[in-house]
Structures are given as structure tokens and as C-alpha cells.
Homo-oligomer: A and B are copies of this chain.
Amino acid sequence: MAKTNKNQDTEGQILDAAKNVFQKKGMDGARMQEIADAAGINKAMLHYYYRSKQLLFEAVFSNAFSLLAPQLNKILNDDSSIEEKVKNFTHNYISFIIKHPYLPNFIIQELNRNPKFFEKIQQNAAFPTLEKFKNQVNEEVEKGILKPINGEQLFINIISLNIFPFVATPLIKGFLKFDDKGFKQLMEQRKTAVSEFIINSIKK
């Protein structure tokens, strides 16, 4: 911290620090002073570069969502079979989240606090949509590859199984009496356990 900050990269340092603080404490719990300290700069700089807490928060939020959207596109707009997609998505997504453990909870929490944010991120470039996935599920059901299932419900199931443990980590660690290490192992297991669980359920 508090390195000899030449002027240049201040804006990036702020965004980094803001990301850490906002993702850990949320909009309401975060303090501008704490962000400034984490960035090793004066609080006034936050306003110089981002005008207000609200705008700084929105920058962090959009940024976070931009990381998640491509992950979702892999299962929604990829061309492989549903089975392949489930396997790939589960494996990739869990790997991804292990590296960014605060992300899902941050997004969900702040979306609950202010559902209007959804519209803001929808304008984002590669915003994923469900149409292709639903059609593909219907096709594969008709072809007899999959047991009959509603595409929307399947989508919800897939993201529930993948995301929930990372949103409810303290709850799961508590019930299962796992420490950090045990929890991580459990999540590693899930890379295959979840896709098996899903495939078992839907494949004819």
C-alpha cells in the first residue's frame, strides 16, 4: 500500500480498491474513506475521478457483471449439445468463481437492493438471452435425447446448482462443518458432481 504513486494509474487503483471494498461490504456497508485508504490515496480523488459514491459503485458493478456475462453466454449461445454445455459450463463456471468468490453474492445482493440495476446492465454489449437455449432444449426433447423438461426450469436448475454454494458459503460451511480447505475441496468435487447430477436427471 501507499507506494510512491506517480499520477498515472490512479483511476485504476481506485477501481481496484473500490471493487474489493464494495464486493466485501456492499454499497451500504462500504465507506469512501476505506476505499481511499485501500487505494492509498486521498479521499478527494475518489470524487475527482468518479464524482460520487453512487457512480463509483456503478462502475464497479458494471465491471463485475461484464466478467459474468461471458460465462453465461457459454451455456446460452454456444453450439454444442446440451449435455456438452452442461459439462463445460459447470466445470468452467466453478473454476471461474473459485477465483472470484465474492462476485456472485455481490451481484445478487446489489440487484436485490435495487432491481433497476438490471436495466443498466442489460444495455451492456454481449448481454445473454435465453431464446437459443430454450429452443435447443425443446429440440433435444423432441429428438428423444432428453427427457421432457421445461427449458426455463432447466436453466434455473443449472445456475442454482452452480451459483448457490458460493452465495451461501457461510451457511454451507456452518452446516457441513467445513473449514476453508474442506469447502474448496467440496467445490472442486462439484465440477464433476454437478454435471453428473444434471445429466443423470435429464438424459434419456
Within the complex, the shortest CB–CB distance from A42 to chain B, in Å, comes to: 25
Q: A111: which B residues are within 8 A, CB to CB?
A: 168, 170-171, 174
The answer to whether B28 and A169 have CB atoms under 8 Å apart is no
Range of interface residues on A (Cβ < 8 Å): 35 or more
Q: How many monomers of this protein are in the complex?
A: 2
The answer to whether B115 and A170 have CB atoms under 8 Å apart is yes
Within the complex, the shortest CB–CB distance from A82 to chain B, in Å, comes to: 14
Per DSSP, chain A at the interface is helix
Complex formed: what's the CA distance from A163 to B160 in Å? Answer: 8
Interchain CB contact (< 8 A) of A157 among B122, B161, B167, B174: B161
Residue ID in chain B nearest A174 by CB atoms: B118
Within the complex, the shortest CB–CB distance from A86 to chain B, in Å, comes to: 12
Query: Is residue A29 within 8 Å, beta carbon to beta carbon, of the partner chain?
Result: yes
How does the 8 Å CB contact mask read for A102-114 relative to B, with 1 for contact and 0 for none? 0001011101110
The answer to whether A198 and B201 have CB atoms under 8 Å apart is yes
Q: A169: which B residues are within 8 A, CB to CB?
A: 112
Q: A29-B28, A107-B171, A164-B160 are in contact. Are A200 and B202 (CB under 8 A)?
A: yes
Residue ID in chain B nearest A129 by CB atoms: B175
How does the 8 Å CB contact mask read for A136-163 relative to B, with 1 for contact and 0 for none? 0000000000010110110111011101
Complex formed: what's the CA distance from A130 to B172 in Å? Answer: 11
Query: Is residue A40 within 8 Å, beta carbon to beta carbon, of the partner chain?
Result: no
Interchain CB contact (< 8 A) of A26 among B26, B153, B155, B202: B26
The answer to whether B193 and A118 have CB atoms under 8 Å apart is no
The answer to whether B200 and A168 have CB atoms under 8 Å apart is no
The answer to whether A130 and B175 have CB atoms under 8 Å apart is yes
Residue ID in chain B nearest A154 by CB atoms: B197
Complex formed: what's the CA distance from A162 to B86 in Å? Answer: 19
Complex formed: what's the CA distance from A171 to B104 in Å? Answer: 11
